[in-house]
A and B are shown apart, each in its own frame.
Chain A
Amino acid sequence: DAGVTQSPTHLIKTRGQQVTLRCSPKSGHDTVSWYQQALGQGPQFIFQYYEEEERQRGNFPDRFSGHQFPNYSSELNVNALLLGDSALYLCASSYTGGNQPQHFGDGTRLSIL
């Protein structure tokens, strides 16, 4: 049973560019959440997708956007990259209903030059 998979594992971009990160949820999961983890900090919630719509959003600018596909996989897009966007981007999936825990992938390490 594959867990949450993310691609790519590492990515290097320059300021002003755009990036797309991808996530495949754990089998049976229908909800995907994205988190940003700066070096030495805990993960920070970006947004959550369910039924192909953004259901909840954290304190992140509109440069951060996402999408969920009918097969529940998801993308995170970041436009006009800033140096401060350098971080580990984590995807977590869960099954909506009750108190199901989220399961995380190992993330995409994004470096902005």
Chain B
Amino acid sequence: DAKTTQPTSMDCAEGRAANLPCNHSTISGNEYVYWYRQIHSQGPQYIIHGLKNNETNEMASLIITEDRKSSTLILPHATLRDTAVYYCIVSALNAGGTSYGKLTFGQGTILTVHP
């Protein structure tokens, strides 16, 4: 699985957009980009994932560059409850096309949202 690089920490003002970058320069063609977050004492929460195209759901938007070597998770209007560790993960499909879905977590980005 490809490795990812994220900033150790970021700050954001409440109500502003939080833009969390991730580099995955060695990503393979069959690898998806997943984003999870983990609030203290809870399990990781799935946010969003994508392959090539930009994706949006009720939680966030995912912007993937055309060469797929980096991506940005956007929380459009950050709240205090968005303070968490955010993990960017790339995960491959196996040769048979069935995702085993093994997730390789790094250290993530600690996002702190300030009032």
Contact = CB atoms under 8 A, between A and B. Distances in A.
Contacts of A63: none
Interface string A32-68: 0101000001111100100000011010000000000
A101 interface: yes
B59 interface: no
**Range of interface residues on chain A?**
20 to 34
B105 A43 contact: yes
A106 B43 contact: yes
The listed residue with most A CB atoms (<10 A of its CB), out of B103, B107, B108, is B103
**Range of interface residues on chain B?**
20 to 34
B105 A104 contact: no
A108 to B, nearest CB: 10
Contacts of A100: 99, 101
A43 B100 CA distance: 17
Interface string A82-113: 00000000101010111111111111000000
Interface stretch (B7-15, B44-52, B65-73, B74-82): B44-52
Interface string B83-115: 000010000010000111111111110000000
3 closest A-B pairs by beta carbon, nearest first, are: A42-B105, A104-B43, A106-B43
Interface of A: 4, 31, 33, 35, 41-45, 48, 55-56, 58, 90, 92, 94, 96-107
19 contacts: A31-B101, A33-B103, A35-B103, A35-B105, A43-B44, A43-B105, A45-B102, A55-B100, A56-B102, A90-B43, A96-B98, A99-B51, A99-B99, A101-B34, A101-B46, A101-B49, A101-B101, A104-B43, A106-B42
